[in-house]
């Protein structure tokens, strides 16, 4: 009787074992691909459903009195965006106040100058940025509503480093800057040089901007800290121009996001920033629905309050015609 040598039999067994292992890998890979495909389809369906939700669905009556004006159209959801310094809990004034108005096919951003003098419930006349210091986001919303006849019940609170994180999440922004603005960006960010806090929070220290838009048209690419330095320019001109720069950063960040609309890694980075650095009273459904609408809307339209011809400015306080500005704001948002 012929017997197969032991070494040969052992080689055959090893070959068969390799074949079995090789056969499992394609099956596992195919299963993973199918699973990811189904997950992608599910996410797409949920995104479409979220986008389809009407904006007016989120204009609900709040539990607290926010001085909401009744009877405004449901075509937009108005969100108060508050920007503060890194320490949010020390009764500080809001450094930035904006109204983000999101509709199905329109996205509008309104800056409110912080030196605008208004009535603040329980605190008399004062600068509008003091409302947050006196009563947090709720009093800030109420003050804006009562001054400008609005229906704001949603807010977003961010600190200055969150702006840098958001800009970095979309890969930086392209902005047209002057030589004077370049110098002010570097002056602002020189304060962060060597900061262990900044480095631990963002993972890098500021880099100097070395070019500007010589022709007044060619944009310069800025990272998060550089864009923050641009948005915080104070000494170059006025708060009117400062708020304009802030809106330009938002517009540039939105353009950068839209340019990468099919890149899932961008959304992963953005979600991480939003979950860990943004305070809001909006739930996940509202954020996704309004975020989808903002992403596919047309050009970001901008306004500044007070509007031209409706105020006097003594260099420290801005006195306004509240009725004229309320009318201008509602006309801007609702058309």
Q: At what angle do helices 322-334 and 130-148 cross, to 10 degrees?
A: 70
Residue 306: cis peptide before it, omega within 30 degrees of 0: yes
Write down the residue that tokens 């500005």 correspond to: 325
* Spatial separation of the C-alpha atoms in residues 185 and 208, rounded to whole Å: 8
* Spatial separation of the C-alpha atoms in residues 179 and 52, rounded to whole Å: 45
Can you give the pLDDT at residue 88?
A: 57
Can you give the pLDDT at residue 5?
A: 52
Which tokens go with 213? 């838009």
∠ CA 271-94-135, rounded to 5°: 100
Can you give the pLDDT at residue 46?
A: 64
| Contact between 162 and 71 (Cβ < 8 Å) | no
With CA atoms as reference, report the closest residue to 103 among 298, 291, 247, 293: 293
| Contact between 81 and 156 (Cβ < 8 Å) | yes
Give pLDDT tens digits along the chain (335 positions): 555 554 555 555 665 665 555 555 677 777 777 776 666 676 666 666 666 677 777 777 787 899 999 899 999 999 999 999 866 555 789 999 999 999 988 999 999 999 999 999 999 999 999 999 999 999 999 999 999 999 999 999 999 999 999 999 999 999 999 999 999 999 999 999 889 999 999 999 999 999 999 999 999 999 999 999 999 998 888 889 999 999 999 999 999 999 998 898 998 999 999 999 999 999 988 988 888 888 888 889 999 999 999 999 998 999 999 999 999 999 999 98
DSSP state at residue 72: -
Burial zone of 285 (CB within 10 Å; 0-12 exposed, 13-18 middle, 19+ buried): middle
For the whole model, what pTM was predicted? 0.84
Can you give the pLDDT at residue 181?
A: 97
């Amino acid at each position: 009787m012929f017997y197969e040598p032991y070494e040969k039999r052992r080689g055959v067994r090893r070959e068969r074992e390799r074949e079995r292992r090789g056969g499992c890998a394609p099956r596992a890979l195919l299963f993973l691909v199918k699973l990811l495909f189904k997950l992608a389809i599910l996410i797409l369906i949920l995104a479409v459903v979220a986008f389809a939700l009407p904006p007016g669905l989120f204009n609900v009556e709040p539990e607290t009195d926010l001085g909401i004006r009744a009877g405004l159209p449901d075509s937009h959801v108005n969100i108060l965006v508050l920007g503060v310094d890194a320490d949010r809990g020390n009764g500080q004034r809001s450094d930035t106040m904006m109204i983000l108005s999101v509709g199905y096919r329109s996205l509008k951003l309104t800056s409110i100058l912080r030196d605008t003098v208004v009535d603040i419930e329980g605190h008399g006349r004062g600068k509008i940025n003091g409302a947050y210091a006196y009563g947090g986001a709720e009093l800030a919303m109420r003050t804006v509503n009562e001054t400008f006849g609005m229906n704001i019940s949603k807010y977003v609170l961010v600190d200055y480093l969150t702006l840098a994180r958001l800009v970095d999440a979309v890969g930086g922004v392209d902005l047209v800057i002057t030589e004077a603005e370049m110098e002010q960006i570097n002056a602002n960010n020189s304060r962060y040089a060597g900061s262990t806090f900044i480095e631990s929070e963002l993972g890098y220290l500021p880099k100097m901007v070395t070019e500007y838009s010589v022709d007044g048209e060619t944009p310069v690419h800025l990272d998060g800290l550089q864009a923050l330095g641009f948005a915080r320019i104070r000494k170059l001109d006025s708060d009117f121009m400062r708020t304009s720069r802030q809106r330009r950063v938002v517009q540039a960040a939105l353009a950068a996001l839209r340019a990468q609309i099919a890149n899932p890694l961008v959304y992963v980075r953005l979600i991480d920033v939003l979950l860990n650095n943004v305070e809001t009273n909006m739930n996940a459904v509202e954020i996704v629905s309004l975020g989808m609408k903002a992403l596919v809307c047309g050009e970001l339209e901008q306004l500044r309050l007070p509007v031209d011809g409706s105020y006097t400015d003594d260099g420290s306080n801005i006195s306004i015609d509240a009725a004229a500005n309320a009318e201008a704001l509602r006309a801007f948002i609702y058309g």
